[in-house]
Structures are given as C-alpha cells and as structure tokens.
C-alpha cells in the first residue's frame, strides 16, 4: 500500500531497476486477434524451451531472479493484426511476424542466446525486409500517444506500467497541481471527445465540477459497438492502467468518489484485464480511500453490457448501469447535470481518458502542437476491410486518408482498386476517391457529411456494392433500434424494406427520393443520436454512388455483381461438354440436360448461389 | 424439458450482488453463465427475493441481445457480422452453417441441442475477418468450407466424449 509520494517514487525505482536488469525481453502479443491466431501456444513454447535450456527467466517483476534474466511476457495488442501472431524482442526492437511454435527455438537461439535477428521471420514487403518494428512503414508513419505502451508492456502488470512512467501524471496532479490547474491544462490542450461527437472534454469536466451535488460520477464508455471498430478494446486490453489514471484525474478535477466502466460483453478479455488492473490499483493504494495518502477517495466498478448498441448513447448507458432497459431519454437535461443516478456525471470514452495522463505530464501546449488547431492530438483508427495491413493505428489528427490507406495500410488487397471507406460506422458516412487528400479531423469530416465516430475505417474495394453496404448498415441500426421513439422504430424499418427491395431487383422508380425523404424526417425527429444518424450511410452512398442505386432500380443490374438476386448465370453452349457436374452440384435442381450435350439453367428455379460457376471445369457457366 | 432452478446456486449469485435490484443485469448474466440461458423459474424467484416485479425482470431479459430465454446448444457458434467481416463475405459462412445443420434465422438451435448458430455484431477481431466464435473461442480467416469442416470436427469431438 503506497501512502505517500515517496512511496510511489520508491516503488517506481524498484520496478525500473528490475526491468532494466532484464537483458532481453520477449513480448508475445496477447491481444484478441493474436490469441485467436495461436499466440498463447508461442508463450508456452518459449517457456518450455527456456526451462529446458536452463536460461534464467523473469515472468513477472514481483518474482524476478538475481542477475540478468530474460523477460518473457504477454503484451497487449501491437496493432499489426494482419501479421499476427507477433513477437517483439527488446532492446533491439526486432519484430517477428506470423510466428509459429516451431520458430520459437530459432528465435531463442538467435536473438536471446546470441544477438542476431532471424531474417526469415521479419516483415517483408517486396524485396525489402524490415528487422526493426520502427522501420516498418505500418509503424513508421504513426504517432503513438494513447497506444504508446500497447505491445510494449505486460498488460497485467501494474509494476511495468509504473516503471514506464505510469501514474506519474497522477503524482504530479495530486502533489503539485490544484484540480483547477489540472482542468486548465486539459482546457489548453483542447482535447475533444474521442467517442465521436468531439465535444471539448474540459467543458464537460468544468460543468460537472461547478455543481454542488453530494454525489458525482466519472463514467467511462467502453461500449464500443460500432462494427469494425476496436480501438477501445485494444486500450482496455493492452494498457488498462492508462485509462484508469485518466479517470482518477477526472475524479480529482470534478470531486467525484465513484467511477464506472461500462464494457461490452463481447470483449471478455478487456473485462478480465480491467478487473485485474482495478484490483492491483486498489492494492497499491492508487484507488480507494485516501489515494497515495492524500484526501482523494475514488473507486471504480466495472459494469458489463449485455449486447445493446444503443447503450453507447449517454442516457441509455447510465440507465443500463442502473439496471434498467438501456433506452435513451429526451435531453436536456444533459448527462453532466442529470446523469447516473440523477447526479452530475462525466461521461467520456476510453480513448479520451487515455489521452489525459500525457496532457498532465507534458502540458496542454504540447498536446495542442500535434495536429490541427481545432482538432489537436492524435486519433486511433481501426483499419479493416479490403486493405492490405489490417490493424490498429494511431496518427496525428489531420493526416490524410491517402497516407492512412496507402502509406500505412499498404493499399488494397489483391490488386483491387480503392472505392470507398466507411468512417464512423453505422452513424457515419463514406468517403471516396475525391476525399483521398482530405485531412482527417472532426471539422473536415463533418463538412463532407461523414464523422470521425469512434474511429473505425472500413476500406472497400471496387468489388463492393455500395447499395448492399447501405442495406447492411440499415439492417444493423434497425436491429439495434430500442423502439422507444416512432421515427427510429418505424422509419428505419421502412428504409430497410426499400433497400432490401432494391438489392433484390424489385426497386421502383422514386425509391431513392423516398429514401431521402425518410432520412430527412428521421434525422429531424428521432430522440437520440442513434436515430438521428441512422440514415447517414444511406444518404452518403446516395450522394456519391447514385448511379449504382439507379442501375439496381432501373436496369435491374448490380454493377459489382454482389447482389445475389440480380446475378444472371447461364451456360455457354459452345464451351459446355455436357459432363453434368453443374447439375449435380445445383442445390435446387435447376440445371438439366443430356450427357455430352450442352446443359441449361432454368432461371425460374435458380437461386443464383453460384455453386455451378465454381463447379465447372471448363468455365462454361458464366455470369453477365 | 424445463430446467428446475437450484435455489442454493441462485442465492449465491444474489449474495454476490448483495440482493441489489440495481445489479439485475449482472445477476442475470451470472445466472445465464450457469444455465446457458434464462430458465422460466428464475423470474418469479428473483422477483420475490429482490422485490421487483417479474415484468421488470422480463423486460430486461428481452431488451438485451445477450440474454436467451431458450436453451442453447452444447456448441454455440457465433458468426461475426461486423462490417469488416461482412465485406469479406461472412454471410456465405452463416448460410453454409445453417444449411448444414438445417437451421435458419428463426430456428437457431438444433433439436438434439448440440449446435446453436447465431450472429454477433463485431467481435473487434477485424484483422482476422471473417471470424466466428465457438463457445467464445475466436477463430479467424474462416470460409464456408472451413466452417463445414469445423462442424465435422465438433461432431466427432462430441461423439468421442
């Protein structure tokens, strides 16, 4: 239990010394994606080999042997999920990609026993190979503030966090700054909410601070429900203490005693790691009564979501923590006045809180020097879809889409052409080729009808049907509509019906206009953010890809051949050898014919599944 | 076959949350971990112990997607239908699983209670898209063929057990 500033400084020195003593560190990525790819087996293999070879090894800082042991640890997400499982070896900074258990011995021999690099396991692009993580283009162009520790420290060790400068911001705040001074730094930094809205964080905090309520709450929104976004998951899994530190700083500023973290149930690993972090912080006296011996008392509880996207909305989220149905209410009053249990509540998302410690340590001016004036700082994005390097990245605000997609993301997969990127999930819009040089920040995106949202970037190539994408998002939102207000409950249903009709080839003239009219009505009248922005993906795809909608409606053609019901499959009699393989593969018996003479497809029976196309050895089954 | 609730087990869960009606979501989550669904008997039981109406508990159980009022299979397969998986063709995987098992969007569990197939919105493992989970174990880079193979393996595993 740490009872003073000196205690914290002493323990930091203690852990630092232990960490510095480790001559080599092997960091095995234990993020969700790498675990799914088998990274835990790598950890076991390394441990087994180390024991067999009799190498001194330190698994955790608490039980470190004398001398210079090898540190073996499960780190948080490195971000380069495409290349997983990843193994990083420090201090050289070698990054090994797509590592298999049988590679472990070679890595151990080369990079631990000797001091060399296993070139064949490093990242290759074209003829170039990159030994060091920092020289890989995917990493080189990033600016990491929030994700600074991700992949570099053991996510389940408070000792490593402290040794790497963790809780130094809390120390500075508690012993050198007044709550007003901390708030002032956040204000100078112009940090804006990373959950999507971009509301100035300092303004939110000061609104809660100035109220004289008995109870105030600090709530963290970890209900990252946008499909295709996993920035917050990564922070919670990889560097949970950073987020806790941000929340404690918010409590210090606002005078709150209780905090809650609302996490999606779909993130079991994040729930587990946060739980460990909170327990450790309590043991250390960093959470609980009289934090570090000062007058600050603050505790944090985890509240698990139960699978409702709408709970990402402020008033629905607080209702859910209270044990109610997560349905939004009319605002105002806003959450800062009547939030959790009707008390003033600071509600920020994971990434926002994780930005605060660096601001307190380095000052607001430092933060503002990164990125554009009105949207300073960095932003984490989840890069997914038809892109080469999927994964988690963090760049300075104002970085262009081209840099993100081509320089960091490595361009499109399989030589396809870039078509669009969906930003901001089901509440955002799409950006196209014409926006490639648009700097990504809150205001620029708003101007073109998109939003930064929580930061999911789903990249789509020229084989993607934009009408189908719009239908997909509408079906998501419709499914997640809580049903409280009519415009959202009924409106999204009608929009979905129209979109389903269009992709099925039954679109009617005037459907696009009808969609636009419904969209406008829903946006103007829905109760909460979910409803208000529900039509965004439809509107933005109509804006940039109206010709695709028209092709579906007027010509009954899907230009990208995605929409199954619009496929036209036929057998070319000149190429057909009459082998009957297609007929045998057809699940509905739509293909008939005589052996050794051309077969035919009965289009009335055909379900357009394409089984015959892949079955034919002579490429005789064709698609228009 | 209707599950009979074990009062001792339910009381243990209630005690963990100090009989706090505000923790009803967490209580139901823990209960579901025991039974893999919410049996009918828990509603009157919790209602009596927590002093809130059965209707209120039922309204919560039906609002949140994660709660199920029907028993689930031994193997719960969740196909991710997040955006990233969707653009990498997750629908074909779902269709294949359903057709192999004779399931549909309304019939999610096989009659022998071996498999449940459902969709889940984004698991956040988009780097491995398309993904699915089997009893919460994430499997990436799936294809309809791999999914069919997986079913075969699980059936064999079950037969061996």
Which residues are registered as beta bridge partners of A82?
none
A427-465 CB burial, b ≥16 within 10 A, e <16 = bbbbbbeebbebbbbbebbeebebbbbbbbbbbbbeebb
Instruction: Give me chain A's average pLDDT, please.
Output: 93
Q: Confidence band (pLDDT; 50, 70, 90) for A414? A: confident
d(CA A498, CA A501) in angstroms, rounded, equals 5
DSSP string, A512-574: HHHHHHHHHHHHHH-SSHHHHTTTHHHHHHHHHHHHHHHHHHHS---TTS--GGG--EEE-TT
**What's the pLDDT tens digit per position in A159-188?**
999 999 999 999 999 999 999 999 999 999
* Alpha-carbon distance B29 to nearest alpha carbon in chain A (angstroms): 8
Task: Report the SS3 class of residue B105.
Answer: coil
Of B65, B83, B136, the CB nearest to A227: B83
Chain A contact present for B71, CB below 8 A: no
Residues 6+ apart with CB under 8 A from A248: A170, A259, A286, A287, A291, A296, A298
- pLDDT number for residue A341: 97
Sign of CA dihedral A607, A610, A611, A615: positive
Residue contact B64–A308, C-beta within 8 A: yes
**Number of alpha carbons in the 13 Å side-chain half-sphere of residue A385:** 31
To which residue do tokens 């008995």 refer? A214
Contact A304 B26 (CB under 8 A): yes
Are residues A488 and A445 in contact, defined by beta-carbon separation less than 8 angstroms?
no
- At residue B30, what are phi and psi to the nearest 5 degrees? -65, -40
Mean pLDDT of A514-540: 95
Q: What CA–CA distance (Å, rounded) separates A227 from A230?
A: 8
The nearest CA of chain B is from the CA of A206 a distance in Å of 29
Q: How many CA atoms lie within 13 A of A611 on its CB side?
A: 20
Residue B2 has pLDDT above 80, yes or no: no
Closest chain A residue by Cα to residue B133: A36
Strands A456-461 and A378-385: parallel
Give the model confidence (pLDDT) of A84-140 as tens digits.
899 999 989 999 999 999 999 999 999 988 889 999 999 998 888 899 998 999 999
A195 pLDDT above the threshold of 90? no
Torsion of CA B141, B144, B150, B151, to 10 degrees: 150
What is the full DSSP assignment across B30-62?
HHHHHHSS--TTHHHHHHHHHTS-HHHHHHHHH
CA dihedral A221, A223, A227, A232 (to 10 degrees): 60
For A434, list phi and psi in degrees, rounded to 5.
-65, -15
Cβ of B113 under 8 Å from any chain A Cβ?
no
> B84 vs A425: CB contact, 8 Å cut-off?
no
What is the percent of chain A where pLDDT is above 70?
100
Test mutation, A31, A33, A541, chain B, max B CBs within 10 A: A33
Determine whether the interchain pair B84/A482 forms a contact, defined as Cβ–Cβ distance below 8 Å: no
> Are B129 and A390 inside 8 Å of each other by CB?
yes
Closest CA to A354 of A242, A263, A248: A242
**B22 close contact with A: CB closer than 8 A:** yes
Give the nearest chain B residue to A323 (CA atoms): B22
**Integer Cα distance of A536 and A111 in angstroms:** 51
The pair of three-digit structure tokens given for residue A460, joined into one six-digit string: 């789509």
| Mean pLDDT computed over A313-340 | 95
**Subunit contact A228:B83, Cβ cutoff 8 A:** yes
The matching CATH number, chosen from 3.40.50.2000, 3.10.180.10, 1.20.1440.230, 3.30.1540.10, for A466-554 is 1.20.1440.230
Task: Give A498's pLDDT tier (boundaries 50, 70, 90).
Answer: very high
Query: pLDDT tens-digit profile of A23-61?
Result: 899 999 998 888 888 999 999 999 999 999 988 888 888
The span from the first CA to the last CA of chain B, in angstroms, equals 23
The shares of helix, strand and coil residues in chain A, as percent rounded to the nearest 5, are 45, 15, 40
Q: Do A386 and B83 touch (CB under 8 A)?
A: no
Q: Does B63 touch chain A (CB under 8 A)?
A: yes
B83 vs A contacts (CB less than 8 Å)? 227-228, 384-385, 422, 425, 456, 458, 472-473
Query: How many C-beta neighbours within 10 Å does residue A6 have?
Result: 11
Residues A460, B87: C-beta atoms closer than 8 Å: yes
The answer to whether B122 contacts A230, with C-beta atoms less than 8 Å apart, is yes
Name the residue among A9, A15, A1 with its Cα closest to residue A60: A15
Strands (E), A214-254: 217-222
Chain B CB contacts of A35 under 8 Å are 138
Q: Report d(CA A552, CA A558) in Å as an integer.
A: 6
CA separation for the pair A298, A245 (Å, rounded): 11
Closest of B156, B74, B148 to residue B115, by C-alpha: B74
Task: Name the residue ranges covered by the structural domains of chain B.
Answer: 7-63, 75-160
Interface contact B87-A266, CB threshold 8 A: no
Which residues of A are less than 8 Å from B135 in CB distance? none
State residue B1's pLDDT score.
Answer: 56
d(CA A390, nearest CA chain B) in Å: 5
Backbone angles phi, psi at A377, to 5 degrees: 95, -165
User: What is A378-461's CATH topology?
Assistant: Ubiquitin-like (UB roll) (3.10.20)
Q: How many CB pairs under 8 A join A and B?
A: 129
Output the six-digit token pair for A78: 């490195």
Neighbouring residues of A567: CB distance < 8 A, sequence distance ≥ 6: A558, A561, A608, A610, A623, A624
CATH of range B75-160; options 3.40.50.970, 1.10.1040.50, 3.40.30.10, 1.10.10.10: 3.40.30.10
CB-based contact, B116 to chain A, within 8 Å: no
CA A358 → CA A167, A174, A364, A395, distances in Å? Answer: 10, 15, 9, 16
Nearest to A306 among B22, B29, B131 (CB): B29
- Interface with chain B: mutation pick from A266, A272, A474, A541, highest number of B CBs within 10 Å: A266
State the pairing for strand pair A24-29/A70-75.
parallel
With an 8 Å Cβ cutoff, are B124 and A226 in contact? no
Domain ranges of chain A: 15-133, 158-368, 378-461, 466-554, 567-623
Query: For A241-269, what is each residue's pLDDT tens digit?
Result: 999 999 999 999 999 999 999 999 888 88
CB atoms B129 and A382 under 8 Å: no
Torsion region of A556: left, alpha or beta (phi above 0 gives left; psi -120 to 50 gives alpha): left
- Cross-chain Cβ contact B120/A266 below 8 Å: yes
Which residues of chain A lie closer than 8 angstroms to B91, CB-CB? none
Distance of alpha carbon A296 from alpha carbon A281, whole angstroms: 14
Q: Which residue in B has a C-alpha nearest to residue A459's C-alpha?
A: B84
Tens-digit pLDDT profile for residues A380-397: 999 988 999 988 999 999
| DSSP secondary structure code for residue B129 in this structure | -
Q: Do B138 and A36 touch (CB under 8 A)?
A: yes
Tens of pLDDT along B25-53?
999 999 999 998 999 999 999 999 999 99
Q: Which residues contact A545 (CB under 8 A, 6 or more apart)?
A: A420, A432, A466, A467
- Give the Cα separation of A274 and B26 in Å (integer): 16
**Residue A230: Cβ-neighbour burial (10 angstroms; 0-12, 13-18, 19+):** buried
Per-position DSSP letters for A272-317, written without gaps between them: HHHHHHHHHHHHTTSSBSSGGGSS--BEEEEEE--S-GGGGSHHHH
Print burial letters for A107-137: b (CB count within 10 Å at least 16), e (below 16).
bbebbbeeeebbeebbbeeeeeebbbbeebb
| Burial category of A201 from C-beta neighbours within 10 Å (exposed 0-12, middle 13-18, buried 19 and up) | buried
CATH topology of domain A158-368: Rossmann fold (3.40.50)
Confidence of residue B121 (pLDDT cuts 50, 70, 90): confident
**Is the peptide bond between A103 and the residue preceding it cis, with omega within 30 degrees of 0?**
no
Smallest CA–CA distance, residue A48 to chain B, in Å, is 24
Domain formed by A15-133, architecture:
3-Layer(aba) Sandwich (3.40)
What pLDDT is stored for residue A179 in this prediction?
98
Q: Angle, to 10 degrees, between the axis of helix A240-254 and the axis of helix A268-283?
A: 60
User: Closest chain A residue to B82 measured between Cα atoms?
Assistant: A227
Peptide bond into A91 cis (omega under 30): yes
CB environment A480-509: b (16+ within 10 A), e (fewer): bbbebbebbbebbeebbebbebbbebebee
pLDDT average, residue stretch A262-287: 95
pLDDT over 90 at A453, yes or no: no
pLDDT at position B136, please? Answer: 81
Structure tokens at A383: 């890069």
CB contact under 8 A, B128 and A37: yes
Q: Do A224 and B124 touch (CB under 8 A)?
A: yes
Return the biggest CA–CA distance within chain B: 51
3-state secondary structure at position A104: helix
Encoded tokens for A156: 């389940």
The share of chain A scoring above pLDDT 90, in percent, equals 79
Distance from CA of A235 to the nearest CA of B (A): 12
pLDDT per residue as tens digits for the range A553-580: 999 999 998 888 888 889 999 999 999 9
Question: What sign for the dihedral angle of Cα A560, A561, A564, A567?
Answer: positive
CB contact under 8 A, A323 and B127: no
What is the arithmetic mean of pLDDT over A419-445? 92
Average pLDDT, chain B: 91
Contact A31, A92 (CB under 8 A): no
Distance from CA of A267 to the nearest CA of B (A): 7
Q: Do A307 and B65 touch (CB under 8 A)?
A: yes
Give the CA count within 13 Å in the CB-facing half-sphere of A593: 22
Candidate CATH numbers 3.40.1190.10, 3.30.70.20, 3.40.50.620, 3.40.50.450; the one for domain A567-623: 3.30.70.20
Q: Looking at chain B, which residue has its C-alpha nearest residue A388?
A: B127
Q: In terms of DSSP H, where are the helices of A117-163? A: 137-140, 158-163
Q: What is the pLDDT of residue A564?
A: 84
pLDDT band for position B81 (cuts 50, 70, 90): confident
pLDDT at residue A450, rounded to an integer: 84
| Range B73-95 average pLDDT | 88
């Amino acid at each position: 239990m740490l009872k003073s500033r000196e205690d914290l400084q002493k323990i930091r020195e203690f852990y630092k010394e232990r960490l510095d003593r480790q001559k080599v560190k092997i960091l095995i990525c234990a993020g969700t994606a790498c675990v799914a790819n088998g990274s835990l087996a790598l950890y076991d293999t390394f441990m087994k080999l180390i024991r067999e070879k009799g190498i001194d090894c330190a698994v955790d800082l608490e039980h470190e042997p004398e001398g210079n042991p090898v540190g073996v640890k499960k780190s948080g997400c490195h971000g380069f999920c495409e290349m997983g499982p990843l193994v990083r070896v420090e201090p050289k900074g070698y990054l090994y990609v797509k590592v298999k258990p049988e590679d472990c011995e070679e890595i151990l021999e080369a990079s631990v026993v000797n001091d060399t690099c296993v070139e064949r396991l490093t990242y290759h692009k074209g003829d170039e190979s990159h030994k060091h993580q920092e020289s890989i283009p995917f990493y080189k162009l990033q600016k990491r503030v929030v994700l600074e520790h991700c992949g570099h420290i053991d996510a389940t060790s408070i000792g490593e966090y402290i040794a790497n400068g963790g809780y130094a911001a809390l120390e500075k705040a508690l012993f050198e700054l007044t709550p007003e001074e901390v708030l002032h730094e956040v204000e100078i930094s112009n940090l804006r909410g990373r959950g999507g809205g971009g509301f100035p964080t300092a303004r939110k905090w000061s609104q809660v601070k100035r109220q004289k309520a008995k109870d105030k709450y600090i709530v963290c929104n970890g209900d990252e429900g946008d499909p295709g976004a996993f920035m917050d998951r990564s922070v919670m899994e990889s560097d949970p203490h950073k987020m806790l530190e941000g929340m404690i700083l918010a409590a210090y500023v606002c005078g709150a005693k209780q905090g809650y973290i609302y996490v999606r149930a779909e993130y079991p690993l994040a729930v587990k790691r946060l739980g460990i972090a909170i327990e450790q912080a309590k043991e250390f006296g960093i959470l609980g009564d009289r934090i570090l011996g000062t007058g600050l008392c603050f505790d944090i509880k985890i509240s698990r979501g139960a699978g409702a996207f709408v709970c990402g909305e402020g008033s629905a989220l607080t209702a859910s923590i209270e044990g109610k149905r997560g349905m939004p209410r009319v605002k105002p009053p806003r959450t800062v006045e009547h939030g959790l249990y009707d008390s003033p509540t600071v509600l920020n998302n994971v990434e926002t809180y994780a930005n605060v410690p660096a601001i307190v340590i380095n000052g607001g001016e430092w933060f503002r020097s990164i990125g554009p004036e009105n949207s300073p700082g960095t932003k984490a994005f989840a890069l997914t879809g038809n892109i080469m390097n999927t994964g988690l990245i963090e760049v300075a605000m104002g970085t262009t889409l081209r840099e993100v997609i081509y320089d960091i993301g490595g361009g499109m997969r399989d030589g396809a052409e870039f078509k669009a990127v969906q930003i901001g999930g089901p509440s955002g819009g799409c950006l196209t080729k014409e926006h490639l040089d648009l700097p990504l920040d809150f205001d620029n995106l708003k101007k073109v009808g998109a939003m930064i949202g929580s930061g999911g970037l789903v990249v789509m190539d020229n084989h993607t049907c934009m009408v189908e994408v719009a239908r997909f998002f509408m079906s998501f939102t419709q499914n997640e509509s809580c049903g409280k207000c009519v415009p959202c409950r009924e409106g999204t249903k009608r929009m979905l019906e129209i979109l389903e009709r269009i992709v099925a080839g039954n679109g009617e003239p005037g459907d696009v206009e009808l969609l636009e009219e419904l969209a406008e009505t829903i946006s103007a009248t829905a109760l909460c953010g979910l409803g208000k922005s529900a039509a965004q993906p439809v509107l933005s795809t109509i804006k940039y890809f109206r010709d695709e909608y028209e092709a579906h409606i007027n010509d009954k053609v899907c230009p990208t051949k995605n929409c199954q019901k619009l496929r036209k499959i036929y057998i070319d009699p000149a190429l057909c050898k009459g082998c009957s393989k297609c007929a045998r593969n057809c699940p509905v018996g739509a293909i008939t014919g005589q052996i050794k003479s051309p077969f035919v497809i009965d289009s009335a029976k055909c379900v357009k599944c394409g089984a015959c196309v892949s079955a034919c050895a002579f490429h005789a089954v064709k698609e228009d | 076959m209707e599950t009979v609730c074990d009062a001792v087990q339910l009381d243990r869960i209630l005690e963990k949350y100090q009989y706090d009606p505000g923790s009803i979501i967490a209580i139901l989550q823990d209960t579901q971990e025991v039974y893999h669904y919410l049996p009918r008997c828990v509603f009157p039981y919790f209602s009596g112990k927590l002093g809130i109406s059965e209707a209120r508990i039922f309204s919560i159980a039906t609002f949140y997607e994660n709660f199920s009022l029907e028993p689930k299979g031994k193997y719960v397969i969740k196909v991710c239908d997040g955006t990233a998986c969707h653009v990498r063709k997750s629908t074909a995987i779902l269709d294949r699983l359903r057709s192999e098992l004779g399931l549909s969007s309304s019939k999610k569990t096989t009659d022998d209670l071996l498999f449940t197939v459902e969709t889940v919105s984004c698991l956040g493992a988009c780097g491995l898209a398309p993904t699915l989970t089997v009893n919460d174990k994430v499997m990436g880079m799936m294809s309809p063929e791999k999914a069919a193979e997986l079913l075969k393996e699980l059936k064999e595993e079950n037969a061996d057990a």
